[in-house]
Structure 1
Amino acid sequence: MSSVGYEAINIDENSIPRDHMANAMIDSQLHECVRQNINTEEFRRLVQQRSAEKLVTPCGNTLLHVAVSCGSDNITSYLAPTFPSLITIQNSQKDTILHLAAREGKASDTIKSLAESNPSLMRKTNTKGNTPLHDAVITDNKEVAKLLVSRDPEVAYYNNNNGKSPLYLAVEKGKKNGILDDLLNLGASFAIKSEDGDALPEGKSPVHAAIKQRNRDILEKIGKEKPELLRLTEEEFGNSLHYASSIGFLEGVRFLLTKFHDGAYETNLEGNYPIHVACKSHSVDVVKEFLDIFPYPKEFLNKKGKNILHVAAKYGNSSVVRYILEQDQKLVAPLLNAIDEDGNTPLHLAAGYGRCTATFLLVRDNRVEHFIVNNRNWTPYELAEDFSKRVEETYIKTDEMPAKERKPIDSKNSTPAHEIKGKEVDSNKMDTKEASTKDEIVVWYFDLVMTLSILFVNARPKKSLKEIFPATGLPMSKLRKEATTRIGNLLVVAVLVAVVTFAGVIQPPQLRDNNNSSDREFNSTTYTASHYSTYENLLYGYLFLDVGALSSSLLAALLLLLPSVTHPRFQIATVWFSVIMVRLAIYMMFGAMLFSARIALIGSHRSLLTISITGLAVVFPSIIPLSVSPVHLKVLLHYIYYYLFFLFIYSSWWLPHKLSDLKKKHNL
């Protein structure tokens, strides 16, 4: 068989270069011999003549690499003992022969022999940091993986450049190929804590991989075969309980609390216990699981002195806040008004971070104190007010920033972080060093305004309105400039109102002509004497209001055109009077519109339409009084935002939770 194969390939000796080189490329004929596993005397002679150690492929593979990759056992069994130096040579990617066997070959007798006689090969890593076992797991090569882990079990815990061990990769792939079972059953045990207290091995925890997949079956298998792995930590995520709590994996938390109970008393790099991390997530069930086992939440304080209600309020997890507030009074009382190291209560944190729903839940609870001051002597309202001003100033600065300064920020879709941060930062938005985008600032500011309005309505400071909304005086130069601008704007509005009302005087509204033959089939209204009487009365009202609006707007325009307006002594008074006249003209326009609409509906039986138009014309302009101070306007806006919160935010959050409670109550 070998001779036939050799004659078919017909190696030409003359085609072999004989010049002395550091390395020579394996030609296609030699490669074909290796690939077809043809081990003849002629092949051996040519290999020895060519110096096998210097024969390589473009990516640095030796003949032994090619033989192992192709599964050519006859060639492999010849080359390995004849040229032992080939066994340890690595190609350009630093792959050994075992790497190629793991990716492409099989666990032949020759490979087994090589693994046993050269144990160091199993710990060699390539440029990716992968050992042969890594590659066997990645390619689902169960046969080679079982061979390697049986010869050197500790390799299952070696981490590659991404911090992933073969065991971690096997957990990612799951139990379907059986490699995970082999690694757990044959894997070596190791001490989780070394003498200096560091966790071993470092890198990504296989338990975290199982938690990420929410796979309790794998968690239980790890807990049964290698329970010490449950104690592994990751720098970014903490221990396994921290990570399961952060993603709201309830089944995983339940299992870990039975097998790794002590993990609940460990803190992560941020100084948070797993119960704190659970309060960051939106899973109330995970928080409930912790409180069922640890019914003393006041004992869990992170490194900043925050309890679980602090954390839930800070991150705006309204469902968790609601659940905590509904618990037994003895359990909740120590949490409600507790202060952290900055003197902040849970209400301070909810208010300061613009968590409107959490703020509403806390401020509506009679047990929560509204006027506790923190270390900066600020109440929750004052903290929210200060932070909303900071965000507003940041938005204005970003909007007014010169193009050259804004370009590098816009290229990253961010604004300078120090401009939007308060004295404390939020892990969702502010704990990161990257700043928020301009659009995010707008949305965030809206939440802050909602929160401020909730506090204004329910926890208003014990001060007068003038103290809450102090008037900010402007320099005389700015006042004059502003007055000049307002004169121009008022003049434009006054002239526009005059033009519209003048057109209304020239062509007042008329009754529809029912005698027009072209409209008879569409209009069957018949006007009576009472209809004409009503029309006359409405027309008088319309003309009175329309002419009044015309007169008021013309008076305002004439006043603004007087030469004395430019004199500082008369400027402010003239602007103030003109504003009143223009407002009066606009109100009269609304009234004229009402009378015009009523004239158009005479004889109509559409009472609902009549009522709607009348209500719109009467109610809408009466929302804002004729003369309103800036203080009253701010109070009005707070109430508007408060009711918008009820309409769009609280209702959409409250209804699903109420339905869920009813289902639980009736066991549906």
Structure 2
Amino acid sequence: MILNLVLHKAAAEGDIEPFNASNQNLNRILTPIKNIILHIHIISPSRTPKKTQFVKKILEIYPPLLLQVNVNGDTPLNLAAKYGNNKGNTALHEAVRNARLNVVEIVTKEDPEFSYFGNDSGETPLYIAVERKCPLIAAKILETCKSAAHEGPDGKTALHAAVMRHDLDQNGWTPLHYAEYYGCFHAAEWLLKSDNSAAYIVDKDRKMTALNLAAGQWYSNIMEAIIFQCPDCCELVDKMGWNFLRFAMTVKSLNNFLRNRSFTNIISNF
């Protein structure tokens, strides 16, 4: 289906209404060079401040559009990274700002080598995630992006700042707790190197450390990283008196533990 003038103008200006009724056919609305409505919107000089909502709503209707290529092999994501948009935000900036974890996953997996530089205000996507207290998004960026920039405005460093002030959520979880719970090894390693005192912070409910959480999920590589950096964490217990070994026992049998080389390495240092 060729993109007619009415739909082309709507896409360029960020008018969502003409596309609401064609949710299953958005990938078929094309220009002769196979640009879809997101390509048109991103490169259009006439786009309006509605842009953020337009992209968000279009992706809610049909998420695969983010990765659809034109004849030049460019996805909307490629163009967003190349051209940016209002205030220099890339697609990842917009996804983080709108707390769209599913879009963050798509964007970062598409190009994990891209560092995602700061926008016109000097804010990187990682900085925005930390500033807005979105630890899951911050952890996903750190886990997927191999060289995620973490600078913020005025020389601030996003994740360092979060770790140094032990940025807790309503449950008393730090970014390290989230990294451990979701098995984000690279994020956990980075956080520990930034400030390993976060490993000693317990949550509000069960008084669990990040090591307890990692043991409960049996993330052996993360457990080893914490114990290597903070060996005395092994002595900390939750409010029920459980240490990390007790948590580990809840998800594996003792025989499985002893057959696991990583576990043998852990207990030999305990």
Is the TM value for this pair above 0.5?
yes
Query: How far is the alpha carbon of 1:452 from its aligned partner?
Result: 4.6
Query: Of 245, 255, 267, which aligns to 1:456?
Result: 267
Query: CA–CA distance in 2 between the matches of 1:449 and 1:315?
Result: 21
Query: CA–CA distance in 1 between the matches of 2:111 and 2:87?
Result: 25
Question: Unaligned regions of 5+ residues in structure 2, if any?
Answer: 69-74
CA RMSD of aligned residues (A): 5.1
Query: CA–CA distance in 2 between the matches of 1:152 and 1:376?
Result: 57
One-letter amino acid of the structure 2 residue matched with residue 157 of structure 1: I
Asked whether the equivalents of residues 336 and 368 of structure 1 are also in contact (C-alpha less than 8 Å), the reply is no
Structure 2 equivalent of residue 463 of structure 1: none
Where 1:185 maps in the other structure, the secondary structure is coil
Structure 2 equivalent of residue 296 of structure 1: 161
**Residues 170 and 453 of structure 1: CA distance in aligned 2, closer, same or farther (over 3 Å):** farther
**Residues 178 and 450 of structure 1: CA distance in aligned 2, closer, same or farther (over 3 Å):** closer
Structure 2 equivalent of residue 384 of structure 1: 248
Structure 1 equivalent of residue 188 of structure 2: 321
Asked whether the equivalents of residues 43 and 79 of structure 2 are also in contact (C-alpha less than 8 Å), the reply is no
Structure 2 equivalent of residue 185 of structure 1: 45
After superposition, residues 526-537 of structure 1 pair within 5 angstroms as none
Query: CA–CA distance in 1 between the matches of 2:29 and 2:82?
Result: 17
Structure 2 equivalent of residue 406 of structure 1: none
One-letter amino acid of the structure 1 residue matched with residue 242 of structure 2: W
Structure 2 equivalent of residue 149 of structure 1: 8
Asked whether the equivalents of residues 42 and 85 of structure 2 are also in contact (C-alpha less than 8 Å), the reply is no
Query: CA–CA distance in 2 between the matches of 1:235 and 1:162?
Result: 24
Query: How far is the alpha carbon of 1:315 from its aligned partner?
Result: 3.5
**Residues 316 and 252 of structure 1: CA distance in aligned 2, closer, same or farther (over 3 Å):** same
Query: CA–CA distance in 2 between the matches of 1:285 and 1:228?
Result: 16
Query: CA–CA distance in 2 between the matches of 1:448 and 1:304?
Result: 35
Query: Of 111, 116, 136, which aligns to 1:253?
Result: 116
Query: CA–CA distance in 2 between the matches of 1:316 and 1:152?
Result: 39
Query: How far is the alpha carbon of 1:259 from its aligned partner?
Result: 6.0
After superposition, residues 271-310 of structure 1 pair within 5 angstroms as 272-279=135-142, 281-286=143-148, 289=150, 293-294=157-158, 295-298=160-163, 299-310=166-177
Structure 2 equivalent of residue 266 of structure 1: 132
- Say if 2:236 is the partner of 1:372: yes
Asked whether the equivalents of residues 234 and 243 of structure 2 are also in contact (C-alpha less than 8 Å), the reply is yes
Query: CA–CA distance in 1 between the matches of 2:210 and 2:224?
Result: 12
* Greater relative contact order, per chain length (Cα 8 Å cut-off, separation 6+): 2
Query: How far is the alpha carbon of 1:244 from its aligned partner?
Result: 4.2
Query: CA–CA distance in 1 between the matches of 2:84 and 2:26?
Result: 14
Question: Unaligned regions of 5+ residues in structure 1, if any?
Answer: 1-102, 104-135, 138-143, 194-198, 393-444, 460-668
- Say if 2:200 is the partner of 1:334: no
Query: How far is the alpha carbon of 1:371 from its aligned partner?
Result: 1.1
Where 2:249 maps in the other structure, the secondary structure is helix
**Residues 451 and 290 of structure 1: CA distance in aligned 2, closer, same or farther (over 3 Å):** farther
Q: Deviations over 1:137-181 (max 9, x none)?
A: 4xxxxxx2x35434896675244478589699779x876999626
Identity of aligned residues (%): 10
Query: CA–CA distance in 2 between the matches of 1:306 and 1:387?
Result: 22
Structure 2 equivalent of residue 511 of structure 1: none
**Residues 204 and 167 of structure 1: CA distance in aligned 2, closer, same or farther (over 3 Å):** same
Where 1:306 maps in the other structure, the secondary structure is coil
- Say if 2:75 is the partner of 1:219: no
Give the aligned length: 250
Query: How far is the alpha carbon of 1:362 from its aligned partner?
Result: 1.8
Asked whether the equivalents of residues 344 and 374 of structure 1 are also in contact (C-alpha less than 8 Å), the reply is yes
- Say if 2:59 is the partner of 1:204: yes
Q: Deviations over 1:69-103 (max 9, x none)?
A: xxxxxxxxxxxxxxxxxxxxxxxxxxxxxxxxxx3
**Residues 317 and 454 of structure 1: CA distance in aligned 2, closer, same or farther (over 3 Å):** farther
TM-score by length of 1: 0.30
Query: CA–CA distance in 1 between the matches of 2:266 and 2:11?
Result: 65
**Residues 174 and 356 of structure 1: CA distance in aligned 2, closer, same or farther (over 3 Å):** farther
Asked whether the equivalents of residues 273 and 302 of structure 1 are also in contact (C-alpha less than 8 Å), the reply is no
**Residues 162 and 340 of structure 1: CA distance in aligned 2, closer, same or farther (over 3 Å):** farther
Asked whether the equivalents of residues 337 and 369 of structure 1 are also in contact (C-alpha less than 8 Å), the reply is yes
Structure 2 equivalent of residue 348 of structure 1: 212
**By percentage of residues, which structure has more helix?**
1
Query: How far is the alpha carbon of 1:383 from its aligned partner?
Result: 0.9
Query: How far is the alpha carbon of 1:372 from its aligned partner?
Result: 0.5
After superposition, residues 268-667 of structure 1 pair within 5 angstroms as 272-279=135-142, 281-286=143-148, 289=150, 293-294=157-158, 295-298=160-163, 299-327=166-194, 332-341=195-204, 342-366=206-230, 368-389=232-253, 449-450=260-261, 452-459=263-270
Bigger mean CA offset, 293-302 vs 347-356: 293-302
Bigger mean CA offset, 215-224 vs 161-170: 161-170
Asked whether the equivalents of residues 300 and 308 of structure 1 are also in contact (C-alpha less than 8 Å), the reply is yes
Query: CA–CA distance in 2 between the matches of 1:309 and 1:277?
Result: 12
**Residues 176 and 248 of structure 1: CA distance in aligned 2, closer, same or farther (over 3 Å):** closer
Say which one has the larger Rg.
1
Asked whether the equivalents of residues 313 and 358 of structure 1 are also in contact (C-alpha less than 8 Å), the reply is yes
Query: CA–CA distance in 2 between the matches of 1:364 and 1:151?
Result: 56
Where 1:335 maps in the other structure, the secondary structure is helix
Query: CA–CA distance in 2 between the matches of 1:152 and 1:349?
Result: 46
Asked whether the equivalents of residues 96 and 137 of structure 2 are also in contact (C-alpha less than 8 Å), the reply is no
